[in-house]
């Protein structure tokens, strides 16, 4: 049996909170974020802290009860609310809402915990501004088995709904450190013999000329402007992706993923 509490007013405090959580300011203040959609909610691990779940009445009636029971049984103490389809559409951040969302607590990772890892595989993203690109890069890093993703100040908010969606749940699998001070981080990593390899059009060597099997941090910059000079100068080496064809650049999530996967190729051998 599914026990839920029905909410019938848009003035209800949970409804109001979900609407407020669309703003970064509120997410920063409360350290909460929204995971919307069946697939994303399904990806939340059992040990992740969820505040509550909201279901639309249509979702509750349309789909297999078993599905909802499976989700709720992972989180036995969870508060589950139901709202009308109309209300769900008002709080949803998608064009065609599925009728399920979870309000989750952000996980705060301590940078120092990761940098002592032996032979690590890190991804450093500087000022990525498009949410789709950030989510896609986190998804690739997760597929690749990277140990941690570090985001510089100036990256789009990790908890932006489009980042969460395009990460396809990878945000729940893989540690992502936010607001990292890259000048400090890079010095720390280099002092532990971790090579910081900057994807850069001015690189002399290509990613196929270097050894990626030891401790590495792959450093990827902003869509329009690439890496800042300040940060690329701190890297161990600038590395280019060869472009034997006619295009002069690639999409940042593609370029980053090609680099990440060259490391996968070398490391799985």
Pick between residue 82 and residue 160 the one whose CB is nearest to a copy of itself.
160
Residue with tokens 């690590």: 120
Please give the C-alpha separations between residue 134 and each of 41, 166, 169, 240, 256, in angstroms, as whole numbers.
Answer: 20, 8, 13, 20, 10
The single residue among 168, 197, 199, 219 that binds a copy of itself, judged by CB under 8 A, is: 168
Pick between residue 238 and residue 252 the one whose CB is nearest to a copy of itself.
252
For the window 243-262, what string marks contact with a copy of itself as x by the rule CB under 8 A?
xxxxx-xxx-xx--xx--xx
Shortest approach of a copy of itself to residue 62 CB, angstroms? Answer: 20
Q: Is residue 222 near a copy of itself by the rule CB under 8 A?
A: no
H-helix segments, 55-102 = 57-62, 65-74, 85-91
For the window 146-165, what string marks contact with a copy of itself as x by the rule CB under 8 A?
x-------------------
Q: Are the CB atoms for 81 and 14 separated by under 8 Å?
A: yes
Q: Is residue 1 near a copy of itself by the rule CB under 8 A?
A: no
Q: Is residue 125 near a copy of itself by the rule CB under 8 A?
A: no
Q: How many residues of this chain interact with a copy of itself, rule: CB under 8 A? A: 37
How many CA atoms lie within 13 Å of 124's alpha carbon, on the beta-carbon side? 32
Q: What share of the chain is helix, strand, coil (3-state, %, to 5)?
A: 40, 20, 40
Q: Is residue 242 near a copy of itself by the rule CB under 8 A?
A: yes
Please give the C-alpha separations between residue 190 and each of 68, 86, 262, in angstroms, as whole numbers.
Answer: 47, 54, 21
Pick between residue 43 and residue 111 the one whose CB is nearest to a copy of itself.
43
Pick between residue 213 and residue 249 the one whose CB is nearest to a copy of itself.
249
Please give the C-alpha separations between residue 179 and each of 43, 123, 160, 176, in angstroms, as whole numbers.
Answer: 25, 14, 14, 10
CA–CA separation, 112 and 233 (whole Å): 23
Q: Is residue 176 near a copy of itself by the rule CB under 8 A?
A: no
Shortest approach of a copy of itself to residue 74 CB, angstroms? Answer: 17
Q: Are the CB atoms for 172 and 139 separated by under 8 Å?
A: no
CA–CA separation, 236 and 196 (whole Å): 5
Pick between residue 20 and residue 143 the one whose CB is nearest to a copy of itself.
143
Positions that interact with a copy of itself (CB under 8 A):
132, 136, 139-146, 166, 168-170, 173-174, 208, 241-247, 249-251, 253-254, 257-258, 261-262, 264-265, 268-269
């Amino acid at each position: 049996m599914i026990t839920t509490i029905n909410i019938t007013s848009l003035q209800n405090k949970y409804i109001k909170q979900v609407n407020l959580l669309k703003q970064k300011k509120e997410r920063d203040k409360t350290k909460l974020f929204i995971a919307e959609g069946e697939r994303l909610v399904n990806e939340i691990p059992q040990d992740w802290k969820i505040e509550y779940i909201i279901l639309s009445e249509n979702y509750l009636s349309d789909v297999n009860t078993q599905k909802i029971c499976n989700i709720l049984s992972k989180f036995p103490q969870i508060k589950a609310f139901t709202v009308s389809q109309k209300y769900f559409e008002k709080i949803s951040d998608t064009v065609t809402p599925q009728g399920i969302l979870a309000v989750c607590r952000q996980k705060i990772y301590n940078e120092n915990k990761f940098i002592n890892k032996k032979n690590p595989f890190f991804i450093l993203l500087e000022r990525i501004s498009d949410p789709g690109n950030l989510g896609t890069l986190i998804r690739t890093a997760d597929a690749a088995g990277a140990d941690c993703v570090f985001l510089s100040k100036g990256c789009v908010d990790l908890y932006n709904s489009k980042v969460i969606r395009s990460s396809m749940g990878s945000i729940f699998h893989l540690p992502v450190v936010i607001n990292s001070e890259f000048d400090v981080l890079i010095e720390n990593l280099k002092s532990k013999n971790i090579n910081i390899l900057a994807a850069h059009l001015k690189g002399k060597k290509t990613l196929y000329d270097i050894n990626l099997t030891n401790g590495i941090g792959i450093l990827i910059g902003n869509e329009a402007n690439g890496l800042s000079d300040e940060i690329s100068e701190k890297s161990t080496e600038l590395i280019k992706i060869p472009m034997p064809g006619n295009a002069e650049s690639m999409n940042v999530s593609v370029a980053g993923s090609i680099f990440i996967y060259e490391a996968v190729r070398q490391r799985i051998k």
